[in-house]
Chain A
Amino acid sequence: METTQPFTVLAVDDNPVNLKLMESSLVKEGYRVISASNGPRARELSVAEKPDLILLDIRMPGEDGFEVIRFLKDNPVTGTIPVIFLTAYAEINSKLRGFDLGAVDYITKPFHPLEVLARVGIHLKLSIATNSLIAEQARKLGQITEAQNAMLPLAEELPWARFGVYYKALEEAGGDFYDILNISDQITGYFVADFSGHDIKTSYMTAAIKALLAQNCSPVYSPLESMKMINDVLVEILTDGKYLTACYVWLNRSTGKLCIISAGHPPVVHIPKGKDPEVIRLDGDILGMFKDARFGIHRIPVAPGDRLFVYSDGLVESVKRKITWATGAESLVEKFKEVRDVPFCDAPTALMETIFDKGEIPEDDVVVLCVEV
């Protein structure tokens, strides 16, 4: 809402006298007034002009004021515009129904122009205050998004790690996280995690996980030891039943050794060069819940050109289609085949496009990592 622009008020009444009276009083006080003499016109103008406030007569022939409010409140473009309705003094049911439908106030008829001005003024002030509060909160959430994104390493910044990534958070503070760890010249760690919930608290946790990974994923610890140490700290600091599922892929490119640690996370898909994908299922406890957690562990030899897909459950799960990742991964084997010839850096995005139709939005946060040996 620009303060330098005059506020626009939409006046709706089927009687031209009432319209004119509201208009002349409001214009005199510096408002811009648009008017409608019936419901359909009111709806049309609300959407086209997005007025700052609407004065709406309830009793109109044809489409009445209630139907107009219902439309306004159901429409995202007009839903937040304050509506003051005009109703006869005795009509208590109209007043209650108007409030019930989302109106902010009412003015009884016959109305006095000065009362109209006073109520318009107060509700515009309230609306400005609410809007600036929302804008401020959105700005703060934007900062969190920025900070969180800054914690996610970009593939082009770490060419030696030979990975591609697709990352999409549904809300400002996403619940998925990944990190790349340069353990030594030959050894790289790839970590993908999914927090329970995706709220602001979660996003602060990603900073903690990043620090824990940096501290505990070093050449002196085995991958399992690293995860156990991280788990022990998380058990101490995570509260309210918060936990995360995670997958840690430890890859030594010079020896061709690969180790996967799974903490209740969807299976890694391994695609040996020129062969069909293998789904590596591992049982394992989640991270941050149990002091003596047992994680799934799998060691395999790998060769240059082999690929690994590590992802969060948002890729394979669907509440709508009742698919859990236990069954989802199997059904996706064919999809992994389809992106076999796509360069590894583009493979995650290509995979997303293969799985989700254009315009279809995943139901959860999604991270997909493709690593090439």
Chain B
Amino acid sequence: MDFKAMASNLGIDEADFIELAELLVITSLSDLAALEQGLAQGSKEPIAHAAHSIKGAAGNLGFTDIAAIAAEMETLVGQGEFDSINARADALRQGLDAINMAMGR
């Protein structure tokens, strides 16, 4: 994960980018918790909102893999494929962990 290149791609400083990446991890973990709660309750709306939120934020910062997983989840909600969403939630969590690792945390 080349934060310097990603920051430069957005036209911002690396320090600012790292701050944003950190915020992305915190926010997305919180979204993910809401998503999992939605899965447990079989409630579509919180899942759709959480997936949409992660997709947008990750996409904005250039974390395209995470954004892609979230986008798939958003599509799957409509189809009621809760099991597939569950599997992707794990992948998403791993993606967020990878960002944390890259930041040296």
Measuring CB to CB, which residues of chain A are less than 8 angstroms from any residue of chain B? 14-18, 20-21, 24-25, 28, 59, 61, 88, 109-114
CB neighbours (8 Å) of B60 from chain A are 17-18, 21, 109-111
Q: What are 28 A-B pairs at a CB distance below 8 A? A: A15-B53, A15-B56, A15-B57, A16-B23, A17-B20, A17-B23, A17-B61, A18-B57, A20-B19, A20-B23, A21-B10, A21-B12, A21-B61, A24-B12, A24-B16, A25-B10, A25-B11, A25-B12, A28-B12, A88-B52, A88-B56, A109-B59, A110-B59, A110-B67, A111-B60, A112-B10, A113-B11, A113-B12
Given A25-B12, A109-B59, 14 further pairs, Cβ under 8 A: A14-B53, A17-B20, A17-B57, A20-B20, A20-B23, A21-B20, A21-B60, A21-B61, A24-B16, A24-B20, A109-B56, A110-B56, A113-B11, A114-B10
Are the C-beta atoms of A16 and B49 separated by less than 8 Å?
Answer: no
Chain B, residues 26-60, CB within 8 Å of chain A (1/0): the string is 01000000000000000000000100110011011
Closest 3 CB pairs of A and B: A110-B59, A17-B57, A110-B60
Most buried by B among A17, A28, A109, A112: A17
CB neighbours (8 Å) of B10 from chain A are 21, 25, 112-114
Q: How far is the CB of B24 from chain A (nearest CB, A)?
A: 5
Tell me the bound Cα distance from A20 to B61 in angstroms: 11
- Total residues of chain B contacting the partner, CB 8 A: 18
Tell me the bound Cα distance from A369 to B60 in angstroms: 69
Tell me the bound Cα distance from A111 to B67 in angstroms: 13
CB neighbours (8 Å) of A111 from chain B are 60
Tell me the bound Cα distance from A82 to B49 in angstroms: 27
In the complex where A61-B49, A109-B59, A110-B56 touch, is A17 in contact with B12 (Cβ < 8 A)? Answer: no
User: Closest B-chain residue to A25, C-beta based?
Assistant: B12
Are the C-beta atoms of A15 and B27 separated by less than 8 Å?
Answer: yes
User: Closest B-chain residue to A89, C-beta based?
Assistant: B59
CB neighbours (8 Å) of A61 from chain B are 49
Q: How far is the CB of B42 from chain A (nearest CB, A)?
A: 19
CB neighbours (8 Å) of B57 from chain A are 15, 17-18
Tell me the bound Cα distance from A327 to B24 in angstroms: 73
User: Closest B-chain residue to A112, C-beta based?
Assistant: B10
User: Closest A-chain residue to B56, C-beta based?
Assistant: A109
Tell me the bound Cα distance from A273 to B42 in angstroms: 88
Tell me the bound Cα distance from A109 to B55 in angstroms: 9
User: Closest A-chain residue to B28, C-beta based?
Assistant: A17
CB neighbours (8 Å) of A88 from chain B are 52, 56
Please provide the chain B residues from 51 to 91 with a CB less than 8 Å away from any CB of chain A in the complex: 52-53, 56-57, 59-61, 67
CB neighbours (8 Å) of B67 from chain A are 110
CB neighbours (8 Å) of A16 from chain B are 23, 27
Chain B, residues 6-22, CB within 8 Å of chain A (1/0): the string is 00001110001001100
CB neighbours (8 Å) of B49 from chain A are 61
CB neighbours (8 Å) of B19 from chain A are 20
CB neighbours (8 Å) of A20 from chain B are 19-20, 23
CB neighbours (8 Å) of B52 from chain A are 59, 88
Are the C-beta atoms of A18 and B12 separated by less than 8 Å?
Answer: no
User: Closest A-chain residue to B62, C-beta based?
Assistant: A110
Tell me the bound Cα distance from A14 to B31 in angstroms: 11
User: Closest A-chain residue to B9, C-beta based?
Assistant: A112
